[in-house]
Amino acid sequence: MPRGVQDDLNLSGDDLEIWAENFKDVSDDVGAWIEDVEKATNCKKWSELSVEKLMRLNKEVLAKLLFEGHRDTSSYIGVVENARIQVENLKSELIEAQRSVVKLQQKLIEAQSEQLKSMSTVVDTAVEKGIQSYSQAVSKSVSESVPTFTEAKLKRVVQEAVLRKTGHEI
């Protein structure tokens, strides 16, 4: 017979053990009752049972089997109904937990999106500053390395070129 069917429908780990024991008890009790019926009717398995075989039993044996079946079945109605309610509660809790997970995932996606936008801005700024710095460095380098031409420098270069070509100074 099932142990302490609880009125409290909130399941804990201990409650789950109690429910497992209750269902095992139900299974054991039904199995024992089926064996009693099979033994009384000389059936080796449940599928061999028939109305004719039950009618061969005397009234006292039939009444006893019927009473045991009714008693056990009646006690299981509460177990099954409580189990059904527990399943419904667990289903509702699962749905609520899934909703919570979805909301958290949405928040995570939004936070990651903001981070990506922020990162993009930082990268763009860094690239822009890097290009500007490089441009300034190149400009400075070019302006420092490019000689300035003056008329005197040009005249001297021409004179040196003529001297090399002709061997005469201008």
Query: pLDDT digit string (tens) for 42-101?
Result: 999 889 989 999 999 999 999 999 999 999 888 888 888 888 888 898 899 999 999 999
Residue 2's pLDDT is 44
Residue 12's pLDDT is 67
Mean of pLDDT over the chain: 82
Q: Tell me if 50 is assigned to some domain.
A: yes
Q: Tell me if 107 is assigned to some domain.
A: no
Q: How confident is the model at residue 8 (pLDDT cuts 50, 70, 90)?
A: very low
Residues 6 or more apart whose Cβ sits within 8 Å of residue 57:
40, 41, 65
Q: Tell me if 157 is assigned to some domain.
A: no
For residues 54 and 41, is the Cβ–Cβ distance under 8 A?
Answer: yes
In three-state secondary structure terms, 169 is: coil
Residue 145's pLDDT is 61
Residues 6 or more apart whose Cβ sits within 8 Å of residue 21:
3
Please tell me the total count of domains within the chain.
Answer: 1
Taking the complete model, does pTM exceed 0.75, yes or no? no
Residues 6 or more apart whose Cβ sits within 8 Å of residue 45:
38
What is d(CA 126, CA 134) in angstroms, rounded to the nearest whole number?
A: 12
Q: Is 49 exposed, middle or buried (0-12, 13-18, 19+ CB in 10 A)?
A: middle
Q: Tell me if 87 is assigned to some domain.
A: yes
Q: Kindly state the percentage of the chain with pLDDT values over 90.
A: 35
> Residue 44 has which token pair?
């080796």
Residue 108's pLDDT is 96
Query: What sections of the chain are H helices per DSSP?
Result: 13-41, 51-55, 59-145, 151-166
Tell me the residue range of the domain where 24 lies: 13-101
